[in-house]
């Protein structure tokens, strides 16, 4: 199923497939049939009138149906989730103070060497390292994670040498049959679970039965664990990016999915509990195109940001097609995924000792000499199979007599097949190993257990085909996996990573940033036999891939920035991360996509995360509450709805008379998106930056990367600050040589001095949104 890539066990892949199916089936069924769980969203919790109206609704409609109330929301925002008929939902939607009523959606889930790689992937030299001890940062940051739960016994969550829990923490450690208060400590300081409408009581616990939440938590804030590996692969010290941060787990996902009503309940609790950063590695599939006022993540994140909490979300795994990025509200920090400089290599050796480089994690016990007959899938097809299905080694397509004892070469020529499926078919027919040709997944190592399986690209495959076609009795073997460090080029954009532009507006660039999300080693549940090797105990660590793995990398850096700068707003932290990102790889070239083409901001956002430069950005773009209110105006919400949604509406605030999507370009965002551009007229937008360099007096000069056929003028060309905290505004005017813009184009502007470089990508589009 395209877009769902967490490369581990067959059980887990089936789980992810079912998540996607359940989103479609349950959400569409709710819309068609009407009856089911609905979310009633009533805006800001600071409004006494909203709270009163919500309680009146609950009292009048559910006086005799108390069990139909699933969740109530009262801390960060107001509303409830309840079982309703279609007619009841329509009636409630018309009530005063109700912003939206919508069926409860079921969302999908979207080290470790990656931190060592990031340490050296920065183009800016900084005076000091990021804080790595309690003394280095004056603020003890708390990371809230909405996910599948946590495995508290993992060594990644030991609290050795950690100080007392911050006194401002107001959360709890919910007890269950297999999780008690002693499972929390000075590392895991909070644990909550949520009873989804149709959950089995088996999942009424914060304990992780899937592994995903344990993996993301330890990536963000795991304590250092030496000699960690997945059965010897990717070995080293596993550590989180912010190892001194505290973890609060909010379990919103179970094998049945991630209920939107539970996600909202977790946001509501996290706001009251006192977290500093929220991390979500989940979201709707890209095809859903959910509106902001019916998206639980967008709603919850809006109110979290109002309370000073940065929200970091994965961009989704529906790449490489454009317009697939999700979690795209401008108050969310959206993270794409890239590779790192570690290759988990499993090579093919042909007769004559020719070596073909491949990728994959397997622990096959076969000869290292090329002694096994090699056959192409289409040459081994069964009598009733088509040549194309045998070529991809689809289920039931191969003849057992032709495959037995051989290594089979399979191809993903139609873009819809996977190595794990081909492996299963070859293995079931008595084959010795599987070589899978796939340009997409060549750079993404998946685990194949004890059956020798490797993935090669089409260029490497050409050499094998040449050998097979020129040799009477071709032979080969597949070597065990080895870990190759300093692999180049890296980073490159992961093929599965969802791409921009945003479906709601091209005036806000999404994704915002890219971070490591391929073959990430991190903690896992302690009893998952589905990833175990035969005769060996379950691994305490796992290597998986996805934008789910990228988001906690950014979360960790945000936590470190918060520790160093506790008074900074969520938008200042986001700006620090975006404007200090790098655009180059370890070959000193520009970051590329999985095809080798130069990546654009639709692939990487501002670039790859920097763990050092982001601590001292020099300047930040602060997106204010009024910016977000103006965004809602430009997006089409009226003033009465906006006042219901937000607690931050000034008494004299009104929507601009000419509110339209193109004006979203004027929101003070760290990137610059200019949409609805017609070459016959100039477009001017302004941005305001705040001096946070710490030196008081500072002078910055601008440089511009201008796309061909365009002119970009920045006024003024020099910013002169006299003190820290001072704000200065500049204008950017874009014009074109002619009036035709056939495709979106990209540029950038950078404010720099001897110490800092503050870069903003620029996107120019004739369109206003992906869907218009």
Residues carrying an active site annotation: 147, 212, 548
Name 350's bridge partners: 476
Name 411's bridge partners: 437
CA distance 194 to 183: 18
Locus of tokens 């890296």: 490
CA distance 368 to 347: 10
| Burial grade of 486 (CB within 10 A; 0-12, 13-18, 19 or more) | exposed
CA distance 94 to 724: 49
> Could you say which DSSP state residue 363 is in?
-
CA distance 587 to 603: 19
CB atoms within 10 A of CB 511: 32
Residue 179 CA to its chain's centroid (Å):
28
Do residues 84 and 685 lie in contact, with contact meaning Cβ atoms separated by under 8 Å? no
**H helices present in 409-566, as ranges:** 419-428, 458-470, 547-564
DSSP assignment of 609-667 equals: --SSGGGS-SEE----HHHHHHHHHHHT--HHHHHHH-S---TT----TT--GGGGGGS
* Interstrand relation of 710-715 and 727-736 (parallel, antiparallel or unpaired): antiparallel
Residue 336 CA to its chain's centroid (Å):
6
Q: What is the side-by-side strand order in the sheet with 619-620? A: 619-620, 683-691, 727-736, 710-715
Q: Give the contacts of 21 (CB within 8 A, at least 6 positions apart).
A: none
Do residues 507 and 667 lie in contact, with contact meaning Cβ atoms separated by under 8 Å? yes
Element housing 189 (H / E): strand 188-193
CA distance 644 to 43: 5
Q: Give the contacts of 771 (CB within 8 A, at least 6 positions apart).
A: 289, 503
DSSP assignment of 121-144 equals: --SS--SSPPP-STTT-SS--EEE
SS3 labels along 35-86: CEEEEEEEEECCCHHHHHHHHHHHHHHCCCCHHHEEEEECCCEEEEEEEECH
Do residues 239 and 130 lie in contact, with contact meaning Cβ atoms separated by under 8 Å? no
* Interstrand relation of 619-620 and 342-345 (parallel, antiparallel or unpaired): unpaired
Q: Give the contacts of 741 (CB within 8 A, at least 6 positions apart).
A: 677, 678, 679, 764, 765, 766
DSSP count for the chain of H helices, then E strands: 16, 37
The length of the chain in residues reads: 772
Token pair of 593 as six digits: 């996509």
Please report, in angstroms and rounded to a whole number, the separation of the first and last CA atoms in the chain. 27
> Could you say which DSSP state residue 400 is in?
H
Residue 166 CA to its chain's centroid (Å):
28
CA distance 772 to 770: 6
Name 33's bridge partners: none
Do residues 254 and 199 lie in contact, with contact meaning Cβ atoms separated by under 8 Å? yes
Find the farthest-apart pair of alpha carbons in the chain and give their distance in angstroms, rounded: 84
Phi, psi of 729 (to 5 degrees): -115, 145
């Amino acid at each position: 199923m395209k877009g769902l890539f967490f490369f581990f066990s067959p059980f887990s892949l089936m789980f992810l497939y079912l998540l996607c199916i359940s989103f479609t089936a349950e959400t569409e069924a709710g819309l068609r049939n009407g009856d089911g769980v609905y979310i009633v969203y009533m805006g800001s919790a600071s409004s006494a009138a909203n709270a009163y109206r919500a309680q009146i609704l609950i009292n009048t409609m559910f006086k005799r149906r108390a069990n139909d109330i699933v969740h109530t929301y009262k801390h960060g925002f107001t509303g409830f989730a309840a079982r309703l008929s279609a007619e009841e939902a329509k009636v409630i939607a018309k009530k005063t103070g109700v912003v939206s009523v919508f069926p409860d959606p079921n969302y999908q889930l979207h080290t470790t060497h990656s931190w060592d790689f990031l340490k050296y992937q920065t183009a800016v030299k900084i005076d000091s390292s990021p804080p790595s001890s309690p003394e280095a940062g004056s603020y003890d940051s708390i990371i809230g994670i909405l996910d599948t739960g946590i495995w508290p016994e993992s060594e990644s969550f030991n609290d050795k040498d950690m100080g007392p829990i911050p006194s401002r923490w107001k959360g709890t450690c919910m007890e269950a049959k297999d999780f008690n208060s002693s499972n929390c400590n000075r590392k895991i300081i909070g644990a909550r679970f949520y009873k989804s409408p149709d959950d089995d009581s088996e999942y009424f616990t914060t304990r992780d039965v899937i592994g995903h939440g344990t993996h993301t938590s330890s990536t963000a804030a795991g304590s250092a664990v030496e000699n960690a590996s997945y059965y010897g692969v990717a070995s080293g010290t596993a550590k989180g990016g912010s190892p001194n941060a505290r973890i609060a787990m909010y379990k919103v996902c179970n094998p049945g999915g991630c209920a939107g009503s539970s996600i909202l309940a977790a946001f509501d609790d996290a706001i009251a509990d006192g977290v500093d950063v929220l991390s979500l590695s989940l979201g709707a599939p890209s095809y859903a195109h959910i509106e902001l006022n019916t998206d639980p993540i967008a709603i919850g994140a809006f109110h979290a940001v109002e309370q000073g909490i940065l929200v970091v979300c994965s961009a989704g795994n529906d790449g490489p097609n454009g317009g697939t990025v999700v979690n795209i509200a401008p108050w969310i920090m959206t993270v794409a995924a890239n590779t790192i400089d570690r290759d988990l290599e499993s090579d093919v050796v042909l007769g004559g000792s020719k070596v073909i480089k491949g990728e994959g994690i397997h622990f096959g016990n076969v000869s290292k000499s090329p002694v096994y007959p090699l056959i192409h899938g289409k040459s081994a097809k069964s009598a009733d199979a088509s040549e194309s299905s045998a070529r991809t080694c689809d289920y039931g397509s191969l003849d057992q007599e032709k495959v037995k004892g051989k290594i089979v070469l399979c191809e993903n020529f139609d873009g819809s097949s996977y190595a794990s499926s081909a492996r299963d078919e070859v293995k079931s027919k008595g084959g010795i190993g599987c070589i899978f040709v796939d340009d997409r997944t060549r750079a993404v190592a998946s685990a194949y257990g004890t059956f020798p399986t490797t993935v090669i690209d089409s260029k490497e495959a050409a050499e094998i085909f040449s050998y097979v076609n020129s040799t009477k009795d071709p032979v080969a073997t597949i070597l065990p996996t080895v870990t190759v460090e300093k692999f180049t080029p890296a980073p490159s954009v992961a093929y599965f990573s969802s791409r921009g532009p945003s479906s709601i507006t091209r005036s806000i660039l999404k994704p915002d940033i890219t971070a490591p999300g391929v073959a990430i080693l991190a903690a896992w549940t302690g009893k998952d036999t589905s990833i175990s090797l035969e005769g060996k105990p379950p691994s305490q660590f796992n290597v998986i891939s996805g934008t789910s793995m990228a988001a906690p990398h950014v979360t960790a850096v945000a936590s470190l920035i918060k520790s160093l700068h506790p008074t900074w707003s969520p938008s200042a932290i986001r700006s620090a991360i975006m404007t200090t990102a790098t655009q180059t790889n370890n070959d000193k070239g520009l970051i590329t996509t999985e095809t080798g083409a130069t990546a654009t901001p639709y692939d990487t956002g501002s670039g790859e995360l920097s763990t050092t430069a982001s601590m001292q950005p020099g300047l930040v773009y602060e997106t204010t509450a009024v910016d977000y209110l103006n965004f809602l105006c430009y997006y089409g919400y009226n003033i009465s709805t906006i006042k219901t949604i937000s607690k931050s509406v000034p008494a004299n605030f009104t929507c601009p008379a000419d509110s339209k999507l193109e004006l979203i370009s004027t929101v003070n965002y760290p990137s610059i998106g200019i949409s609805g551009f017609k070459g016959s007229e100039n477009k001017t937008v302004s941005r305001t930056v705040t001096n946070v360099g710490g030196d008081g007096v500072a002078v910055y000069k601008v440089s511009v990367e201008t796309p061909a056929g365009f002119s970009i003028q920045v006024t003024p060309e020099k910013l002169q600050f006299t003190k820290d905290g001072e704000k200065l505004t500049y204008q950017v005017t874009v014009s074109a040589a002619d009036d035709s813009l056939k495709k979106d184009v990209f540029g950038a502007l950078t404010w720099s001095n001897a110490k800092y470089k503050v870069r903003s990508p620029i996107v120019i589009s004739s369109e206003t949104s992906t869907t218009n």
